[in-house]
Each structure stands twice: as C-alpha cells, then as structure tokens.
Amino acid sequence: MKHIVKILSMVVGISTFWIGLLQAAIVPRSHTWLLPIYFVVSLGCYGLLMVGTGLMQFPTCPQEAVLLQQDIAEAKDFFKHKGVDVGSD
C-alpha cells in the first residue's frame, strides 16, 4: 500500500471519529468544533519542540576536524615519493 494511502486512511479515520463525536454530543459541540484546530496546533508545537530539542542536542565533533587534518598530512606524506601528485590545487 502506498504511504499516502496509509496517511489518508488515518485522516479519514480521525475525521469519522470527530464527526461521530459531533453527532453523539458526549462532549459539548462547541468544544468538538474546535478539536481539529487543537490537533493542528499541537502537531505544530510538537514539531517545533522536536526541532528545538534536536537542535540543542545536535551532535558535533570538532575533534574530527583535527583528526582529519592529521590523516591528510599522513596521506600526503605517504604519496610524496610514490608517484602520486598531491600538491595543492
């Protein structure tokens, strides 16, 4: 099944539930009408939260840059007398 079909089925399912809630009036109608807005807003907030925390915890590796420079020096040294041209651009 294509992914979009899965998503649309979920949307249809949630909408059916919402319409059912409207008709059954277990929860006051005025609240039920606002539920989709609450849903979208919380989804948005969740997204922003994920971006924010991910940004704060973004793994960095400054030491890797140093190690890489060492590797480059090692490689250039190796090639110097082996017939491979590694002069700068």
Partner 1 sequence: MAEEKKYKYSIIIPTYNERLNIALIVYLIFKHLRDVDFEIIVVDDGSPDGTQEIVKQLQNLYGEDRVLLRARAKKLGLGTAYIHGLKHASGDFVVIMDADLSHHPKYLPSFIKKQLETNASIVTGTRYVKGGGVHGWNLMRKLTSRGANVLAQTLLWPGVSDLTGSFRLYKKSVLEDVISSCVSKGYVFQMEMIVRATRKGYHIEEVPITFVDRVFGTSKLGGSEIVEYLKGLVYLLLTT
Binding residues for partner 1 (CB under 8 A): 2-4, 7, 47, 50-51, 54-55, 58-62, 64-65, 68, 71-72, 74-76, 78-79, 82-86, 88-89
Instruction: Identify the H or E element spanning 26.
Output: none
Q: Which is nearer to partner 1, 30 or 85 (CB)?
A: 85
CB of 24 to partner 1, least distance (A): 30
Q: Which is nearer to partner 1, 27 or 72 (CB)?
A: 72
Helices 29-56 & 3-24 angle (0-180, nearest 10): 140
Residue 78: exposure state from Cβ atoms within 10 A (0-12, 13-18, ≥19): exposed
